[in-house]
Amino acid sequence: MKRVLILGCLLALVLPLQAGKHKDNGPVVAAYVTGWNETMELPDCTVLTHINYAFGNVNKTYDGVTIQHPERLRQLVELKKNNDIYIVLSIGGWTAGGFSEMASTDRRRKAFAKDCKRIVKDFGLDGIDIDWEYPSSNEAGISSSPADIDNFTLLMKELRKALGKSYLLSCATIADARYVDFKAIEPYVDLVNIMMYDVDNPPYHHAALYRSEMSGRVTAQEALQAHLDAGMPANKLVLGVPFYGRSVKGFGDTSYGALKKRTDVTRRWDDIAKAPYLVNDDGECVCTYEDEESLAWKCKFIHETGMRGAMYWEYRCDDEVGTLRNTVWNGVMKP
């Protein structure tokens, strides 16, 4: 009897460590780290709670997952040994197809979810992020079907069933909350990453906080309200912010690190939208972007509205000293 009790106590100590720790419900500061370049910069885990590795893809038979540069994902997982960090595989991305076909049958959804569980176990991950852009839309040049929205819900249900309660399940969504039945998926997801960027081009802001004459199709305030109205609670919503700009043709590199070095343009500030932009010598808006001041306003907005935190695309676009990532960390974690 004593042996049974001792074994039970040991299992109680071990199982929570195996199960993951995402149920702490603490604030989120997440970065997307990509495997696209020749080398991958290992992120500074002291200013992050989550890393989303981009990307995995739906495989060619629509029943599993392929991973871009899996050795890089293993490098990121190694960071867990000395850091309190969650590592998540993000599956999808712009122009990444196969979702509609995979989600269209019960057999394929189950096989895909089973493979996601295998990957989580094999790599020692903390969860899966689905970045289907977008269910029922072929805007990104991928196949689509009117049934995609309902099938997306069934997919998230199947993924939650396969992953259990111990692993993270999140998804990335368009800023104005289209293409997803949020009330239906809410029981299955831990986090929803709102992609509040790329909503317009100069002379309009692509990531404005509030509505001004220069704001693009949707603002962060409007994006939050759209998700709330669609049925997703604020404490599951993560505000996505860009570490890059949107520019006129021929402008060049728009990563924040590159923009900070430009001497041929002048910064202007839209105090209504709480957003910076760059103008040329003729006073024309040539690039809209994010900087320390605008991010500080967005972090304040996150706290005021009860959102869960911030996510940014992507880590490598910051400057050498980490100006933006430090601003986001301090704004979210140290209000």
Contact in structure between 232 and 182 (CB atoms under 8 Å): yes
pTM: 0.92
Residues of the chain with pLDDT under 50: 1-22
User: Strands 86-92, 50-58: parallel, antiparallel or unpaired by DSSP?
Assistant: parallel
Q: How many CB atoms lie within 10 A of CB 225?
A: 15
Contact in structure between 206 and 188 (CB atoms under 8 Å): no
Enumerate the β-bridge partners of residue 75: none
Phi, psi (rounded to 5 degrees) for 139: -55, -35
Q: Which pLDDT value is given to residue 20?
A: 43
Q: Which pLDDT value is given to residue 294?
A: 98
Q: Which pLDDT value is given to residue 6?
A: 38
Q: Which pLDDT value is given to residue 38?
A: 81
Phi, psi (rounded to 5 degrees) for 77: -60, -35
> What does CATH list as the number for 25-244+290-333?
3.20.20.80
Q: Which pLDDT value is given to residue 24?
A: 63
Domain locations in the chain as residue ranges: 25-244+290-333
259-295 per-position pLDDT tens digit? 999 999 999 999 999 999 999 999 999 999 999 999 9
